[in-house]
Amino acid sequence: MSIADFNPRCAMFSAGIPESQTFFSPSFPANYPNNTECVKIIEAPPGHYLELDFRDKFRLEPSEDCKFDYLEIRDGANGYDPLIGTYCGFAYPPKISSVGRFLWLKFKSDGNTEYSGFTAVYKFLRMTGKQIPEAHCEIKMSGIQGYVNRSDADPASVNRTIEYKVPLECMWTIRVKVGWKIQLNFQKFDLKVPNDCDSNYVDIYPENTDMPSQINNFCGSIADTVQSPENVLRVRFFAKPEAINSSFTAIYTAYREKPKGEPVGCEEDEYDCEDATCISDELRCNGVNNCRFRSDEDPAKCQPKETVLSEHMIIILIVFFFILTGMCFAFLFNCLRKLIRDHRIIQEHMRRSREARMNEEDSKIPTVFSKRSDCFVPSDESIVSNFKSSEVETRDSQVQTRESLFETGLPGPREVQQNWFTTFGRGPPSEEDSSASVRATSIETTKSAPDVILTRH
């Protein structure tokens, strides 16, 4: 961006009157102001070149080598293009013709004497003969870090240089956020024709590309580190056909200067380079020296974090995990098996205890006949001797039941007589019965007696 864009006093010079293709010195028709710097670029249509002529007057402060007030004209669109001439005093400059489609002009005045200035007109003329294709080798870059490589040059521009035997020119424009600056560090610098500053070189500029603004010019075998004054840095590479194989690589870093005289450190997302500058914390320990004194790559500050594990550690942890898992599984299996075994043992003990308790209770319970009164069962001899008659006792038409079995007609105690039984029923013996002969009986016959016995004489 030219200085004219910021200085309204440059309007008559930088803009002029496009319809009549005329421009004037600043503040025309009045005298030009002091301490003024204006830039103008004239561009002709494709296939045309420019012709510039001065009319009416030309009055600038005269000085040796035009070091006070002057008009500088270059053949091209930039302040580093070939110089056509620097003019001052009262003599008209000669009619000027461009080689290409552009002319670059700069007016500058000091702080002393002012004059009436000049009037200039220009016109576009068609080129004749064989025309060389135009080259546009411009690379724009931004961000906190990046690389400037000769290999990034536009292939079409390189082929143009080889085919038409014209110089190769490429411009890298680096732009970072406002308030930050740029540090350019060359990692490789190998010019094909070193120390020949006409055949190949690298120029460093700020945003303005005029020669007084030039920061550095490298045409030897070494290129130093460069720091920009503002947030824009331009890198220009020039090489004639014989030096087109030159190569270089540079890395740029965006940095911020700490305010002087204020105890203000770097922000949370910044890294302190310990040289009154801050860089983005993303650039710390990235394998590139971004700080001026390389503090961002200090091995003591770039130890791997504890959370970062090596492959061997990961394998060891995996093996340990499987071993621990197997041990836990075996422990749980053994516990479960022991619980099942203990449960069975407890069940068996309970069963045995229950059986022992039942056996003990059964031993305490008397038999069925133990609770009854004593039953007198006479022997065979006593039964026969007590019968008064030897006749067998028979009864007609009587029903024999189980209860009649316990009737008795035998002499003896009352309780025995009540429990006496015969084969033919119960009840006390009658006189008739007592005089009859008694049938011999036995315990065996009574045990086998049926529930009902019908008898008939």
pLDDT tens per residue, range 154-176: 999 999 999 999 999 999 999 99
pLDDT tens per residue, range 359-375: 887 776 665 544 455 55
pLDDT tens per residue, range 395-410: 444 555 555 545 554 4
Is the model more confident about 410 or about 310? 310
Query: Pairing mode, if any, of strands 138-142 and 168-175?
Result: parallel
* Res 388 pLDDT > 60: no
* Res 63 pLDDT > 80: yes
Cα separation, 161 vs 319, in Å, equals 64
Q: How many CB atoms lie within 10 A of CB 360?
A: 9
Residue 374: its pLDDT value, please? 53
Where does 138-257 sit in CATH, by number?
2.60.120.290
SS3 422: strand
pLDDT tens per residue, range 184-240: 999 999 999 999 999 999 999 999 999 999 999 999 999 999 999 999 999 999 999
* Res 290 pLDDT > 60: yes
Residue 134: its pLDDT value, please? 87
Task: For residue 126, list its beta bridge partners.
Answer: 48
pLDDT tens per residue, range 78-105: 999 999 999 999 999 999 999 999 999 9
Is the model more confident about 141 or about 265? 141
* Res 427 pLDDT > 60: no
Q: Report the top-level CATH class of 3-126.
A: mainly beta
Residue 113: its pLDDT value, please? 87
Cα separation, 209 vs 234, in Å, equals 8
3-state secondary structure 57-106: EEECCCCHHHCCCEEEEECCCCCCCCEEEEECCCCCCCCEECCCCEEEEE
Q: Are the C-beta atoms of residues 202 and 193 closer than 8 Å to each other?
A: no
All CATH 2.60.120.290 domain ranges in the chain, comma separated: 3-126, 138-257
CA dihedral (267, 273, 276, 280) positive or negative? negative
- Residues of the chain above pLDDT 70, percent: 77
Mean pLDDT (the chain, rounded)? 82
Q: What band does 342 get if pLDDT is binned at 50, 70 and 90? A: confident
Of the listed ranges 139-153, 219-233, 292-306, 438-452, the one predicted with least confidence: 438-452
